[in-house]
Amino acid sequence: MAEITQEFINLAKEMQNKTGIPASITLAQLIKESSGRYPGGLSGLAYNDKNLFGVKGSGSAGSAYYPTKEFVNGQYVTVNAAFRKYNSFADAFNDRASFLSGNRYQKAFKDAKSVNDYAQGLQNAGYATDPNYANGLMKVIDQYNLHQYDSDKFTYTPVTGGSSGSSSSTSTGGESGGASKGIAGDLMFSINRIILVLLFLIVGIIFFMKAFPATSDTADLVTGAVNPMKKLKTAKKVAKAVGGK
């Protein structure tokens, strides 16, 4: 699970003061979207590309491509998609504030007065097509007591120049399928480690073969075996030498 660091808490609180979106909602989405096996419990997208919320498109550092599961026509399918890449976690939070200030979120949040209202608003606005996305967020909030980070400000205040951004439906909820990205990233990380070990093994074998060539002479010395052909050649040389005298 993604660790809720003091940096994340401070950024989530700052976002609530700016937009009214509860810090608990932001942190719950971070956990759902960015949990994996990289340091800090983060997914590959979150750890390598600083994308904590699975927003698609191009960020402050461009785009990164990952496979993701999306819920389409009643079933999950895996597709490759471009996700926003950031220079810092702060960039990810700031871009999220802009993204959630787009027209569809303004409509979804305009009457929000509670954490549950914001959770339902995210689902209604199409942040995810998972029919249980709002309930999933509330379960994460309750499980990790994220309410403690909320302030009393719940009045939605969109930032200027809201981003339209693209979104997708995912098996885990959220825009990018945090778990699927985490699994894919972790799989690639494991494969790279295996390849690296194999390369070291191959280099070691080559070095050993060069240092200790498996010639017939060394084999004879090791085993004490005598090659019959060598024995015959030696006998002929002795006979020739004797006959020559």
Residue numbers annotated as active site: 70, 95
**DSSP 8-state assignment for residue 150:** -
**DSSP 8-state assignment for residue 112:** -
Say if residues 42 and 34 touch (Cβ distance below 8 Å). Answer: yes
Element (H, E) at 75: strand 75-84
| DSSP per-residue codes, 157-189 | -PPSS----B----TTSTTTTHHHHHHHHHHHH
C-alpha count within 13 angstroms, C-beta hemisphere, residue 81: 24
